[in-house]
Chain A
Amino acid sequence: MANLRDHMGRPIVAVTGIGVVTSLGVGKADNWAALTSGKSGIHPITRFPVDHLNTRISGMVDFLPSSSKGASPLTYELAETAAQEAVSEAGLDSGDFGGPLFLASPPVELDWADRFSLYNSDKKDGGSERLLRVARAVKELDIFETTQFGSIADRLADRFGTRGLPITLSTACASGATAIQLGVEAIRRGECDKALSIGADGSATAEALIRFSLLSALSTHNDIPEKASKPFSKDRDGFVLAEGSGALVLESLEAALARGATVLGIMRGCGEKADDFHRTRSKPDGSPAIAAVRAALADAGLGEDEIDYVNAHGTSTPENDKMEHLSLSTVFGERIGSMPISSNKSMIGHTLSAAGAVEAAFSLMTMRESVIPPTINYDNPDPAIVLDVVPNKKRNAEVGTVLSNSFGFGGQNTCLVMAREPV
């Protein structure tokens, strides 16, 4: 009989279903095959014209029916696709899930295509007055719902039969990890015995790209797209904007075992700490990220020497990779030089609100498959960052525990600790 409570007496939380979509494809099988063969999903932008843009590459998901329909429809489809895979794998009824939904998704805005079409539907007056007047006359519920922050989760709740008021959240680039954390916490508090946590982001619009570009956050290495995302390299110059989704079915170990479900991994611990230094930069001493890693380890009941592998935030921005190295080397000490640490973003780019969930999915697969996906494009190591980044080629290794980092604008730091086995 497995132990069903953790070191703090809380229900152990198991993962019984995993789903994922990235620019590498739909589903775990395609993604894993590509990821472990070091394939990049970064490609030239074709969704909109790239005139005037400094960055003309991305990891957009261009192969779904909603890919050209705007951020809200695509985010919904990404979420639904990943959730369907996860719920099916868990062997649960995909129309009557019966637990709460936690959705990490991008903030919504009226799409420019809709703005243009509403505005140009007549010629009276102008500016916002015209938009408002036209809007109240047409009452397009589909367009309206793309501007409501709760509507994607509302549709998902209908689709999967989740229980109660679904929570839509944003902790910027840590959102996916926060969605998982909320699910873990709800199960630990005994509010439910299962939860559906999803991170989905289909918001790579021209305006989103321009906004990040104006903050100098994006790589401009346009010429060879698959080479642009190069975490921990000396010549890294920004992240690559991307889309994707990850979904986990979380279940108390007790409930999972009772119904004979296959346990795919364990959510051991979650930790977070907010940074009060600056809107986009981290405190120079890395203390908030350090505190988040330590909080996750403490929550998991694991020591620094008990983490086998780190799934890095590893965005490929000069700032993130430097600070992540500082934080990890502070927590793990000398051991850091010999711990495998790789960045999925080298291949899939930065999936923003989805990243924490996508990377948790890949972390769980790393343990199950005993294969560590590489950090590709590691041709020119940053001498100031001495890490074993699993350069360029996958590595076979027994991995029993993973730390997955997520750091975001607004001082958001969230870390997850996952394990292959319950104890």
Chain B
Amino acid sequence: MSSHDVVITGIGLVSSLGEGPDAHWQKLTRLGVEPVLDATRFAPYTIHPLPEIDWNLQIAKRGDQRQMETWQRLGTYVAGLALDDAGIKGNDELCATMDMVVAAGGGERDEAVDSAILAASESRNDRDVLLNEKLTTELRPTLFLAQLSNLLAGNISIVHKVTGSSRTFMGEEGAGVSAVETAAARIRSGQSTHVLVGGAFQTEHSDMLLGYELAGYLHRGPWKPVWQRQGSEGGGVVTGSGGAFLVLEQREHAQSRGRKVYAELGPVISGRARRRRGELDAEIAMLLKQAALPAGELLTISGASGAHAATAAEKAALDANPALAVRAFSTLTGHMKEAQFPFAVALAALAVDRKAGYPAFDATVERQFEGAAETVLATAIGYHQFEGLGLIKAA
């Protein structure tokens, strides 16, 4: 134990299951909890929709809410939950010295404008001129700001006054892994005392589905748990709206302000397998080896997406170690892209804090775990690229 250890002092969570760490713990530890699904709105795709959220609770000004679309609102809201949970929200001094690393994709396009342009393109050959004509007249000027990747962080600065530094990492699950890894490295080296890190994903927009479906990654047909989608119609991914933010803090800093600590964040390890060369299996095995897993039964919170190849590789690597009791939370939340790794770390930290595991999310595949969850493994193997995992330990 060292004073520069990284501890988790705040957790903000939103998914189709609800909001906040307590709500998620209660739902996820209830035997036989059913996923919240919407199979009609984007049929043939099933999604896990956002729960009802009163944005005013974390974004007080209507003016601020209007400047954002749902993705940024969601991220700003979840970040607020984490800050609240860590006792930092509203503390000007702590916010002004707080660093921030956000894992982000892009915001929502104006679907009505896009559809009108596409419809008109059927009868026009001068499509570039059509584009100029429509975009110059029909785009809402400030929509651009709601789409910019770094403006989720920008909105968190504006709404929650987190202004120490602001960095946005892009790149699907890998961005979430790098964000947590970089934030932890800053704390360990003494560069930062407290960092807000996380991401959000808003799947209820056709472009967000298109981002997967251009390579056929989405699962179609009746919903199934993450581990049971191999061979089904489609590519295996069922998406969900949600987000996860963590407050990571130097142990000494957290102690000096007398904060409750959920867990310690141990090593975070990232990698990039050259998957086309078939390196994924070996890469996951190597990451697990580098993590120096403790002896004995180990609860493993898997961010598996359901994507056929990546999920099969992860399952094989995890199954190779009989000590691992795996829980793939996307069965119940859907895949949340950039937020996937922060979400896995959050669920791992909750288990460590409550000294208990989660019951199987898919009892046909996931085995029982009765241990005290002193150490928990969190994984995020990207549906298309990039891999990472981390160990979360009792503080």
> For the complex, is B211 an interface residue (Cβ under 8 Å from A)?
yes
**Partner of A168 from B118, B122, B175 at Cβ < 8 Å:** B175
A273 CB contacts on chain B under 8 angstroms: 163-165
> For the complex, is B315 an interface residue (Cβ under 8 Å from A)?
no
> For the complex, is A66 an interface residue (Cβ under 8 Å from B)?
no
CA distance A273 to B161 in the complex (A): 12
A120 CB contacts on chain B under 8 angstroms: 121-122
> For the complex, is B215 an interface residue (Cβ under 8 Å from A)?
yes
B382 CB contacts on chain A under 8 angstroms: 150
Query: Could you mark each residue 49-64 of chain A with 1 if its beta carbon is under 8 Å from any beta carbon of chain B, else 0?
Result: 1111110000000000
Q: Which residue of A lies closest to B235 (CB)?
A: A136
CA distance A274 to B145 in the complex (A): 16
- Would A126 and B170 count as touching, CB distance under 8 A? no
> For the complex, is A332 an interface residue (Cβ under 8 Å from B)?
no
A157 CB contacts on chain B under 8 angstroms: 272
Chain B interface size, as a band, is 35 or more
> For the complex, is A169 an interface residue (Cβ under 8 Å from B)?
yes
- Would A214 and B141 count as touching, CB distance under 8 A? yes
The interface-forming segment of B75-83, B148-156, B240-248 is B148-156
Q: Which residue of B lies closest to A10 (CB)?
A: B189
Q: Which of B145, B206, B210, B234 has the most CB of A within 10 A?
A: B210
**Partner of B119 from A126, A171, A214 at Cβ < 8 Å:** A126
- Would A150 and B234 count as touching, CB distance under 8 A? no
CA distance A422 to B293 in the complex (A): 42
> For the complex, is A110 an interface residue (Cβ under 8 Å from B)?
yes
> For the complex, is B232 an interface residue (Cβ under 8 Å from A)?
no
CA distance A168 to B102 in the complex (A): 12
- Given A49-B129, A150-B171, A169-B170; A214-B139 close (CB under 8 Å): yes
- Would B135 and A110 count as touching, CB distance under 8 A? no
> For the complex, is B35 an interface residue (Cβ under 8 Å from A)?
no
Chain A interface size, as a band, is 35 or more
- Given A288-B163, A408-B150; A110-B115 close (CB under 8 Å): no
- Given A140-B214, A164-B272; A49-B178 close (CB under 8 Å): no
- Would B384 and A148 count as touching, CB distance under 8 A? yes
CA distance A88 to B232 in the complex (A): 48
> For the complex, is A191 an interface residue (Cβ under 8 Å from B)?
yes
CA distance A92 to B67 in the complex (A): 47
- Given A165-B177, A213-B136; A171-B141 close (CB under 8 Å): no
**Partner of A172 from B150, B211, B385 at Cβ < 8 Å:** B150
Q: How far is the CB of B312 from chain A (nearest CB, A)?
A: 18
- Would A52 and B214 count as touching, CB distance under 8 A? no
A211 CB contacts on chain B under 8 angstroms: 139, 144
Q: Which residue of B lies closest to A214 (CB)?
A: B141
Q: How far is the CB of A279 from chain B (nearest CB, A)?
A: 5
Q: How far is the CB of B39 from chain A (nearest CB, A)?
A: 15
The interface-forming segment of B104-112, B222-230, B249-257, B319-327 is B104-112
CB<8 Å pairs between A and B, sample of 16: A48-B128, A112-B127, A115-B114, A128-B111, A136-B213, A136-B234, A154-B272, A167-B169, A170-B168, A189-B191, A206-B131, A207-B131, A214-B141, A279-B158, A409-B150, A412-B166
Residues of A within 8 A of B (CB): 48-54, 105, 107-110, 112, 115-116, 119-120, 123, 126-132, 135-136, 139-141, 143-144, 147-151, 153-154, 157-158, 164-172, 178, 182, 185, 188-189, 191, 206-207, 210-215, 272-280, 288, 408-412
Residues of B within 8 A of A (CB): 45, 67, 100, 104-106, 109, 111, 114-115, 118-119, 121-122, 126-129, 131-133, 135-137, 139, 141-142, 144-145, 147-151, 153-155, 157-158, 161-172, 174-175, 177-178, 182, 185-186, 189, 191, 206-207, 209-211, 213-216, 218, 234, 270-272, 274, 382, 384-388
